[in-house]
Amino acid sequence: MAPPILELKNFQASFHTRRGIVRAVNGVSFAVGRGETLGIVGESGSGKSVTQLSYLGLLPKPPLKIEGGEALFHGVDLLKTTPRELRAIRGNKISMIFQEPMTSLNPYMKIEAQLIEPLRLHMKMTRKEADREAEAALSRVGISSGRSTMKSYPHEFSGGMRQRVMIAMALTTKPELLIADEPTTALDVTVQAQILELLKSIQRDTGMAIILITHDLGVVAGLADRIAVMYAGRIAEHGTAEEIFYQTKHPYSAALLRSTPRIDITQGALPAIAGTPPDLSRVIPGCPFVERCEHRMAICTEKYPDAKVFGTNHRSFCYLESLG
């Protein structure tokens, strides 16, 4: 088996604030290999995006502090690289599609300047070569009028158009790993399907690995090979897409699936998960899902459960053996 492109080992990151230490990422481990898609799902605030932004050095320090663990990219620990070494990897070998394109695109710069910057910086292209490649990248994401588009500013586009520009920008350097943070949120259903098919097509051609962050289980069902379900800064369950959807072991994963609309059965009102996520500024000795869990036991409040392994690599951090 080929070694993973990226491997996180017991990664921990906290925000040191005036009201205390917020343990945003608490012992997260996962790996993703060439040509593979890892889906990361969970509610807002579960730590999906913060995990990726932290090891890429995209959050200010302070308040962020890396508390421990490793983030190995081809065996190189990104947490121990110099800022210059990290910049050579980030945006080149690792690209990211950000969740909010309006806050990620510079409102004072034309699209052209923002698209060609990574090509000039990382690929050492001439201005003419970068212009050609940027126009081709826009065409690949469904923007046919690439030349006129490049002369526009971000505020002149709709949300969906801005998102497509972000996707084009992330793919221009042909990265080995693409981190897609809610890449289709601002797009309608038909364009969403086109973008997901585009990502799969590029992945087939280049062997690019993808980490797909989303709250939409329908998106990961069609794209992900493996899924990590996150809750309160931890991975609650990890397995193949088939295992997560059809052999669910963790109560939180099961609750997420129940709250997803389905077309194969008649549904009334969708069941919501009772309660709210816990305050991560306080120490939680047991399972963070315990207050919302219908299967909770006394031991759940005392100690965080060790991983139970089902099959080859299906893991659930829960004391339950079965949800049945």
Query: What integer pLDDT is reported at residue 16 of this predicted model?
Result: 93
pTM of the model: 0.90
Which among 243, 195, 262, 187 has a CA at the least distance from the CA of 223? 195
Nearest of 14, 39, 30 to residue 242 by alpha carbon: 39
Query: What's the confidence (pLDDT) of residue 34?
Result: 93
From the first residue on, what is the mean pLDDT of each consecutive set of 10 residues in the chain (324 residues)? 86 92 94 94 91 94 93 94 91 86 80 86 84 84 76 82 84 89 76 81 88 87 91 94 91 87 69 85 90 89 90 88 70
Contact criterion met (CB below 8 Å) for 215 and 43: yes
Element (H, E) at 316: strand 314-316
- The helix, strand and coil proportions of the chain, stated in percent and rounded to the nearest 5, come to 35, 25, 40
Structure token digits, residue 244: 């997560």
Q: What is the pLDDT of residue 10?
A: 95
Q: Are 228 and 300 in contact (CB under 8 A)?
A: no
Structural domains of the chain, with CATH: 6-93+175-316 (3.40.50.300)
* Pairing of β 37-41 and β 209-214: parallel
